[in-house]
Amino acid sequence: MSERAEIDVHLRGLEPVWEEGMGDAYAFYRLRAPAEVALAAAMVESGLQLQRLGGQAPDAPRLLLGDLCLARASRLLAETRDQRLQVGFAQAVERTAAAAAGGPPAPPLRDLLTATIADAR
């Protein structure tokens, strides 16, 4: 199966999110990671953007799309069987969410994910 066909399988129901910026995030991460890891990173970024952490709560459909992005990212990372990536991505989400909730400041999410990808190599 081609890389694009594999991506399309994971994007079912998320096509509008892909067009709104997930595709650009994927292209950024694809330069640094295998396709499944790059897609997981793009889904995490998109999921947190959809949830508007630290801002006004989104409407229910956007919130659920954010949850869907995070769930699919988690599944993609589980399929890599690389626990360092799984834990690193989870910690990046935790730090970002904690900062948005008034906790200690966190570096930008993209920096956290990129560092996790680099450390897992």
pLDDT of residue 57: 87
Cβ 80 vs Cβ 60: under 8 Å? no
Average pLDDT over residues 88-94: 97
> How many domains does the chain contain in total?
1
How many other β-carbons are positioned within 10 Å of the β-carbon of residue 19? Answer: 10
What's the CA gap between 114 and 1, in Å, rounded?
Answer: 27
| 3 has a pLDDT exceeding 90 | no
Name the residue range of residue 81's domain.
Answer: 3-120
Q: In the predicted model, is pLDDT for residue 5 greater than 80?
A: no
Whether the predicted pLDDT of 31 surpasses 70: yes
